[in-house]
Structure formats: C-alpha cells, structure tokens
Structure 1
Amino acid sequence: MTAAATIGVETPLQEDVAVLLSLADAVAARLYPEAQRRPITPESLAVPGTPILVARIAGAAAGLRAVIEHGAGAVELKRMIVAAEARGRGVGSALVRGAESEARRLGARAIVLEVGSRNTEAQALYRRAGFTCRGPFPPYRALPVSLFLERAIPA
C-alpha cells in the first residue's frame, strides 16, 4: 500500500516547491504558445493572502496549489501541479479538498479558477469536484485557450 498525501500550507520559497512550479510552467509551455502563458515564480507567490498548499507523500513534495483571495467572497485556485510519479494517487483531489478547506477558513463562499482549454486532465478533475463553467473574472479576459470554472462552497 502506498502512503497517502498530506496537505499543508507552506512557503513557496523551498527548493522542492520551486521544482514543482517549474514543472507547472513546463506543462504550460508544452500546451500553449508563450504569449498565452502566465509564468509564476516562488517569489510572486510568497505574499500575504496567498496560501500555498503542498501535498507531500513520505515527506517528498508531490503537488501544489495556490489559493488567492479575491474579495467579494471568492478565492481563486491557481497553479496546480502534481508530480508525474504521484499521479493517479489522489493528490489532485486532495489538493482540491485542501483548497476548499482553506477557502472556507478565509470566509469565501465560492472558488473560481481559470484552466487551459488543452489541459483536459485538469478539466476532468475539476468537473469531478463539482466545478461548472462561468465567464471570465478579473483580471482575466475571454481567450480561446481559457476556460473559467467555479464552485460554491457548501456551508
């Protein structure tokens, strides 16, 4: 039996977390032209109001997800990645559940996110988690490569 992932809020200024962010950028680079990507650095995420959830399996960073406070009762989920060796082990679902707990702690009533139209694996995960389509939200605008999803947080 393999160990389950533990989810915790951590600083993005750790080497293993930076590796996961680089992996997320590499996946985006494979799917989208440079003009349609938004690279993120550990430093840009190391700000108040941006909890970084890190999934660890046996102490190793296996995935991450940023939760950004948007105000008006919503949080945005951003930059989720699961390391290749951890895929199929429930890490993505655990990160979504952890993000919902964090959103609830922050007092949010809804979770919003943008996902690339070519990122079918992530889309399937979000749909299984109950996310539905919506229009763009600030600071985004409609683009052919972007889908916008949301989910209410149950009371």
Structure 2
Amino acid sequence: MKDKVRIVKTTSENRDFVNLIKALDKSLWERYPELKADYWGNNILELNPNVIILYLEDKAVGCGCFKKYDQNSIEIKRMFISAEVRGMGLAKSVLQELENWAQDLGYSSSVLETLYKQKEAIALYQKAGYLIIDNYEPYIGLENSICMRKQI
C-alpha cells in the first residue's frame, strides 16, 4: 500500500484540500449538530501555506495543516481522513509529515484541539505522544473540546 501513497505539501487554496475540508465539515456537523453555533467561528478556512494532502492511488483521501500558535509552537488543524480509508494508518502519516515540516521550520512543540466524541483521533494523538492539557484560547470554557500538546 505504501507505494500507492503520495503526500503533497501545498496551500489551503488547493482544490483537493478544499473538497476534503467540505467532507470534514459535513462529518463534524452530522456528528455534533448541537455544537455548530459554538464552533462555527473557529472553523473558518484561512489562507494557509502549510497544508498536507495525502493521495492514495492518486485520489485525495486525507489532509491536515498547521498554523503558528506562538513563537515555538504550531497548532495542528483540519486533520481528516476519508471514511472509506480509515484504519489504514494514513492519519499517522499526515500527522508525522506535519510535525516534521514544523520542525524543519524551527518549531519545537505542537498543540491541537479535537472534540470529545473523536475517540479514534484522541487515541491517535495519544499514541503519537500528545498529552491532554488545559484548554487554550479560543477553546477555554468549551467543555466539548479536548486540547493536547506534544514536544516535536
């Protein structure tokens, strides 16, 4: 399978990324319809030069990106793997690639936020060395959010 996987560094303007994010948003709002009002403002697709797209047999099936959080840290955003290819270890590849890219740019830690029903994502992040931390802005007071941090 690994010979059929290709990871591409791109920007948030990439059409495949935009389409994957539409699928991510759809899945989140289906799973958490009650939270849309609380989280919609945190869910805006900004211009981002640090985007990864994962292709399997030339089909875009996964993505992730990061943005600067503070002087030494990045924040992982928009991690998504299409439902039909989950469980194949592809999310781990996307996360690793994002962390490596951030390291190459001089960052030493990573933070992220996910929602409490994302059990598979939480397990992935913990297996990758992320620890649950107190919620950071803009997630302070949002009890459905799980915030995590890792030294990279």
Task: State the TM-score, normalized to the length of structure 1.
Answer: 0.86
| Conserved? CA contact 1:76–1:112, under 8 Å | yes
Task: State how far apart, in whole Å, the 2-side matches of 1:106 and 1:70 are.
Answer: 13
Aligned equivalent of 1:67: 66
Amino acid in structure 2 at the alignment position of 1:130: G
CA deviation map 1:81-134 (0-9, x unaligned): 001222122210001100110110121111100010111111111111111111
For 2:14, the equivalent position in structure 1 comes to 14
Q: In structure 2, do the counterparts of structure 1 residues 59 and 150 end up closer, same or farther at CA, with 3 Å as the change threshold?
A: same
Letter in 2 for 1:86: V
Question: C-alpha offsets along residues 46-89 of structure 1, whole Å, 9 cap, x if unaligned?
Answer: 24xx4011111122111000111112300000111001222122
SS at 2:137's partner residue? coil
- CA RMSD in angstroms comes to 1.7
- Structure 2 unaligned regions, length at least 5: none
Instruction: Please give the alpha-carbon distance, in whole angstroms, between the structure 2 residues aligned to 1:103 and 1:2.
Output: 23
Residues in 1 aligned to 2:44 and 2:6: alpha-carbon distance in whole angstroms? 24
CA contact (8 A) 1:63 1:80 kept: yes
Query: When the two structures are superposed, what TM-score results if normalisation uses the length of structure 2?
Result: 0.88
Percent identity among equivalent residues? Answer: 26
Q: How does 1:16-31 map to 2 (within 5 A)?
A: 16-31=16-31
Q: Residue 151 of structure 1 corresponds to which residue in structure 2?
A: 150
Q: Distance in 2 between matches of 1:99 and 1:135?
A: 23
How many residues align? The count is: 148
